[in-house]
């Protein structure tokens, strides 16, 4: 296969895919605009506050806009939430008491292993606090609802689902499949809380899990919903009472959402949310381009170029550690920031295996910007995601392939 021919074909597939998607992006942007209008967002919301942050109007209105866009009763959207892991921790720990059980469908994302503390005993983990934990395997394409129902016990308080594939060779959980699953659970167990780890899923589909029955969701602002503009932060959204409990865990019992000043201008969060529908679309085009190109080159990819997507991740089986490390190094080389840096595998905090991460991003570690990461395990799958615009994705991925070929690694 001639590489230049493959690059040209992948570009054509990306363009065709993007055309079919355009109306979804327009619909999602219209939801955002409507929420801004309904809450009369004005210049006075875009600044920042200091100190305790009582009556921080920009922050409070942002949380209301967020709830509306996400089809939720309430949201906690804060700069001080350090990452997606903390947002998920707040949602779970705020709503589980000792003796109650968290039941995960499938496996949690790597950094949650220590939050849960079942496999990796960890100070302050859920398990250390007396919370029970179990996992049940599911097929993410067509989950067996009967098996899920059979796994629920009187102690089961929260059922957790991860929408994105994370670091797993499995499909993302589509909203249609998720809606059926939640409906099936709620029919028999209306009081069980369904939590969704929504990281990497925001704005990929027509709505968010909270609009189709999930009680509580969480995610990171340096992934999809920050639109590449938010400099940090995380969110929890869902039923008001559940979000309030997460907020108590976030600040202090009795204090909740009332404090936590927006120290950085709120404009970055509003503008990020406004841009998110189209930025997520750009990231998806980059993923489709990579999927099409590596398919042409004979690699196993997930998802395939024209498959349905519910997250922005593109997984590619690179089959050798040398090719995996080189891939990440070239993605870094063609990044706008830190192009001169060479990423290497390392023991990253929160991860239990060595990972390599390429992220030459304006916002450090932002993975709505083009980034590639991978745990160093067979069959050496790289997880590629992000891209603030399709041209950067195309340039970086094409040049990565050209360089891999020159080094005899293809
Ligand atoms: C990124 C991610 C997390 C954790 O978010 P961090 O911001 O890296 O802490 C959790 N779950 C999924 C599915 C993720 O993609």
104, 140 contact by CB (below 8 A): no
Per the listing, tokens 């219209």 go with 30
206-215 pLDDT, tens digit per residue, is 999 999 999 9
Q: Would you say the CB of residue 172 lies under 6 angstroms from ligand 1?
A: no
Q: Would you say the CB of residue 251 lies under 6 angstroms from ligand 1?
A: no
309, 204 contact by CB (below 8 A): yes
Q: Using most ligand atoms within 8 A of CB, pick from 105, 116, 173, 197 the residue to mutate for ligand 1.
A: 197
pLDDT tops 80 at residue 338: yes
- How confident is the model over 58-87, as a mean pLDDT? 98
174-205 pLDDT, tens digit per residue, is 999 999 999 999 999 999 999 999 999 999 99
What separation in Å is there between the alpha carbon of 136 and the centre of ligand 1? Answer: 20
Q: Would you say the CB of residue 224 lies under 6 angstroms from ligand 1?
A: no
- Around 256, how many Cα atoms within 13 Å sit in the side-chain half-sphere? 15
Q: Would you say the CB of residue 366 lies under 6 angstroms from ligand 1?
A: no
Residue closest via CA to ligand 1's atom 6 equals 84
Q: Would you say the CB of residue 226 lies under 6 angstroms from ligand 1?
A: no
Element (H, E) at 250: helix 240-250
pLDDT tops 90 at residue 70: yes
Residue 54 is classified by DSSP as: T
Q: Would you say the CB of residue 199 lies under 6 angstroms from ligand 1?
A: yes
Q: Would you say the CB of residue 166 lies under 6 angstroms from ligand 1?
A: yes
As a whole number, the mean pLDDT across the chain is: 97
What separation in Å is there between the alpha carbon of 84 and the centre of ligand 1? Answer: 5
HEC letters along 350-396: CCCCCEEEECCCCCCCCCCCCEEEEECCCCCEEEEECCCCHHHHHHH
Please calculate the CA angle 347-353-357 and round it to the nearest 5 degrees: 60
Q: Say what the pLDDT of residue 245 is.
A: 98
Q: Say what the pLDDT of residue 141 is.
A: 93
pLDDT tops 90 at residue 93: yes
Pair of tokens at residue 237 = 């959204």
Atom of ligand 1 nearest to the CA of 222: 7
What separation in Å is there between the alpha carbon of 74 and the centre of ligand 1? Answer: 21
Q: Say what the pLDDT of residue 120 is.
A: 87
Q: Are strands 381-385 and 314-317 parallel, antiparallel or unpaired?
A: antiparallel
Q: Would you say the CB of residue 13 lies under 6 angstroms from ligand 1?
A: no
Q: Say what the pLDDT of residue 348 is.
A: 84
pLDDT tops 90 at residue 271: yes
Q: Would you say the CB of residue 233 lies under 6 angstroms from ligand 1?
A: no
Q: Say what the pLDDT of residue 352 is.
A: 78
Please calculate the CA angle 397-398-400 and round it to the nearest 5 degrees: 65
Give 351's pLDDT tier (boundaries 50, 70, 90).
confident
126, 115 contact by CB (below 8 A): yes
| Claim: this prediction has a pTM higher than 0.95 | yes
What separation in Å is there between the alpha carbon of 329 and the centre of ligand 1? Answer: 22
Q: Using most ligand atoms within 8 A of CB, pick from 109, 219, 280 the residue to mutate for ligand 1.
A: 109
339-350 pLDDT, tens digit per residue, is 999 999 999 887
320, 376 contact by CB (below 8 A): no
Q: Say what the pLDDT of residue 11 is.
A: 98
The C-alpha atoms of residue 304 and residue 214 are separated, in whole angstroms, by: 28
Q: Say what the pLDDT of residue 350 is.
A: 75
Reduced to 3 states (helix: H, G, I; strand: E, B; else coil), residue 261 is coil
Give 7's pLDDT tier (boundaries 50, 70, 90).
very high
Q: Would you say the CB of residue 109 lies under 6 angstroms from ligand 1?
A: yes
283-295 pLDDT, tens digit per residue, is 999 999 999 999 9
- Residue 123, CA distances (Å) to 36, 104, 109, 116, 302 in order: 41, 21, 19, 10, 36
- How confident is the model over 224-233, as a mean pLDDT? 98
Element (H, E) at 75: strand 74-78
| pLDDT over 90, % of the chain | 97
| pLDDT over 70, % of the chain | 100
């Amino acid at each position: 296969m001639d590489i230049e021919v493959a690059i040209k074909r992948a570009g054509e597939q990306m363009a065709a895919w993007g055309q079919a998607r355009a109306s979804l992006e327009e619909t999602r942007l219209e939801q955002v605009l409507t929420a801004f209008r309904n809450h009369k967002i004005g210049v006075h919301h875009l600044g920042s506050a200091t100190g305790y942050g009582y009556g921080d109007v920009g922050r409070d209105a942002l949380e209301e806009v967020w709830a509306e866009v996400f089809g939720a009763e309430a949201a906690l959207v804060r700069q001080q939430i350090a990452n997606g892991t903390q947002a998920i921790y707040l949602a779970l720990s705020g709503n589980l008491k000792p003796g109650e059980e968290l039941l995960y469908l499938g496996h949690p994302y790597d950094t949650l292993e220590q939050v849960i503390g079942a496999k990796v005993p960890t100070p302050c983990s859920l398990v250390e606090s007396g919370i029970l934990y179990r996992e049940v395997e599911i097929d993410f394409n067509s989950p067996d609802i009967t098996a899920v129902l059979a796994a629920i016990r009187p102690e089961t308080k929260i059922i957790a689902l991860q929408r994105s594939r994370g670091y797993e060779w499995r499909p993302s959980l589509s909203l249609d499949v998720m809606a059926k699953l939640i409906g099936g659970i709620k029919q028999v167990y209306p009081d069980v809380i369904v939590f969704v780890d929504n990281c990497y899923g925001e704005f990929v589909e027509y709505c968010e899990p909270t609009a189709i029955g999930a009680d509580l969701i969480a995610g990171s602002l340096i992934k999809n919903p920050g639109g590449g503009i938010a400099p940090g932060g995380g969110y929890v959204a869902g039923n008001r009472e559940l979000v309030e409990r997460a907020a108590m865990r976030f600040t202090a019992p009795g204090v909740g959402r009332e404090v936590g000043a927006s120290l950085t201008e709120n404009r970055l969060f509003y503008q990020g949310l406004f841009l998110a529908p189209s930025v997520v679309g750009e990231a998806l085009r980059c993923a489709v381009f990579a999927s099409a190109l590596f398919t042409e080159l004979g690699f196993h990819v997930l998802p395939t170029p024209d498959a349905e997507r519910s997250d922005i991740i593109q997984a590619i089986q690179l089959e050798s550690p040398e090719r995996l490390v080189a891939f990440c190094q070239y993605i870094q080389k063609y990044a706008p920031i830190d192009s001169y840096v060479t990423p290497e595998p390392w023991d990253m905090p929160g991860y239990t295996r060595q990972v390599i991460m390429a992220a030459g991003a304006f916002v450090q570690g932002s993975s709505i910007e083009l980034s590639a990461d991978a745990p160093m395990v067979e069959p050496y799958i790289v997880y590629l995601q992000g891209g603030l615009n399709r041209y950067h994705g195309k340039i970086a991925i094409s040049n990565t392939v050209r360089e891999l070929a020159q080094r005899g690694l293809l």
